A = this chain, B = another copy of it.
Amino acid sequence: MSDKPTPLSGFPELLPEHRVVERAVIASLSRTFELHGFANIETRAVEPLERLSKGGEIDKEIYVLRRLQAEDSAGDSGLALHFDLTVPFARYVLEHAGKLEFPFRRFQIQPAWRGERPQEGRYRQFTQADIDIVGRDTLGFHHDVEVVRVMAEALAELPLPGLSIQVNNRKLIQGFYRGLGIPDVTAAIRQIDKLDKQEPGAVVALLVSEAGASEEQAWRCVEMARLRTSDTVYLREYVEGLGVEDELLATGLDELVAVVDGCAGVAGERVRVEANLRIARGLDYYTGTVLEIFLDGYERLKSIGGGGRYDALASDGRTTYPGVGVSFGVSRTVVPLLADGALAPGRKVPSLVLVALADEESRPASDAVARALRSRGIATEVAASPQKFGKQIRYAERRDIPYVWFPATDGSDGTDGGTDHQVKDIRSGDQSAADPHSWTPAEETEK
């Protein structure tokens, strides 16, 4: 390899100091999910193509694997990279159902791949963090409230700007459309989902042409979609005041109120859970709760997460597995926020101490100091070469290592009356005698 490589568009890679931030985000999410009893799994990166390809829009973006020098003519392996974590999880549940306990709650934090046109927040490889709860045959509605609450708490722990989890309910939409008398309710949901990109008038035209709605019906759909509120008393009054009577609408409204009320105040000021009757989620399989997540001040990224209830996440013909889940876009959030400085980089190396090296012969003495510090959990490295001490201090500075350790020149461990070890805090310049078997760094550098 003798050429300088150029970055691959759509495949962001982080420098070490940025990767620290991504890892902290993943660790924090994992901690919250585990506090709520979610078990971690990973699925393989590939699925049989026929499990991924549904003939829809997403098909264009699927990466199929081919062996470079396969014996058969086409070379296709029949495998493709997964484009989300939901399809592989559904397959995992079916494949391992006999060995899982239901309701099964899992979290999964892995990359997925889509060959779409790269843009800010949209990548060809991106990491997602998903939580889902899956039942066998049945799954209580209270789990809808639970997954939203868990994700709200998890996001509240992250160093993000404010954000909103905007919730709706497919039953509410479907019941309203049915009560209105719209001929093709499914088509209408797909059209109303375009309100985030298109003018109301254009969506009305689509509702008329694609869903068979009258112009008046279409405007009432668009009108209803305008409500966004966290006040569930007002929400109920508003929806009931629309003058449409439908059993499904009533159930959907009850569920939506329960999710928003159930999440009230759980995640502090920064994470708001609110009803937004525009949220529809075009994908067909949602059957109740639907939601999307938006980051304040980053509306240009569109939603940074989403999810909902699917009464038939998976089925093996005999048993059906209903599920409810939420997905958070780790790359979609972390990469743009690192790029514009909204997330501060971490330290370039984990080391808290650089042990200086007087000359190559005293490397064993420096190694011994490092070993003593590490045995007490203090990340430590030894200088690579015996440069002048000023150079070694600059070496530490360039790596954000806060302390430089100067071993006792007689090789003693500082406890037996020999010369002292010295440790220098290179941020303050303070230097003092220290014992490698008892010294600890000041609190603030422990993060």
User: Which residues of A are in contact with B by a Cβ distance under 8 Å?
Assistant: 1-8, 11-16, 19-20, 23, 34-46, 48-49, 51, 53, 59-70, 76-77, 79-81, 90-92, 94-96, 99-101, 103, 105-106, 111, 113, 115, 125, 135, 140, 142-143, 314-317, 348-351, 360, 363, 374, 377-381, 384-385, 395, 398-399
Contact = CB atoms under 8 A, between A and B. Distances in A.
Copies of the protein in its oligomer: 2
Contacts of A94: 1, 4-5
Given A1-B91, A11-B46, A16-B41, A68 B60 contact: yes
Nearest to A67: B115
A36 B1 contact: no
Nearest to A60: B69
Contact of A1 (B11, B66, B90, B99): B90
Given A61-B67, A135-B384, 16 more contacts: A3-B316, A8-B44, A8-B46, A8-B79, A13-B92, A15-B41, A15-B100, A19-B41, A35-B378, A37-B381, A39-B349, A49-B68, A66-B76, A101-B398, A140-B384, A140-B385
Among A36, A41, A68, the one with the most B-chain Cβ atoms within 10 Å of its Cβ is: A68
A44 to B, nearest CB: 4
A291 B9 CA distance: 37
Contacts of A51: 1, 5
A41 B14 contact: yes
Given A1-B91, A95-B4, A101-B398, A14 B39 contact: no
Contact of A3 (B20, B67, B317): B317
A330 to B, nearest CB: 12
A45 B45 contact: yes
Given A125-B45, A140-B385, A316-B2, A379 B66 contact: no
Nearest to A51: B1
Given A5-B91, A317-B3, A40 B62 contact: no
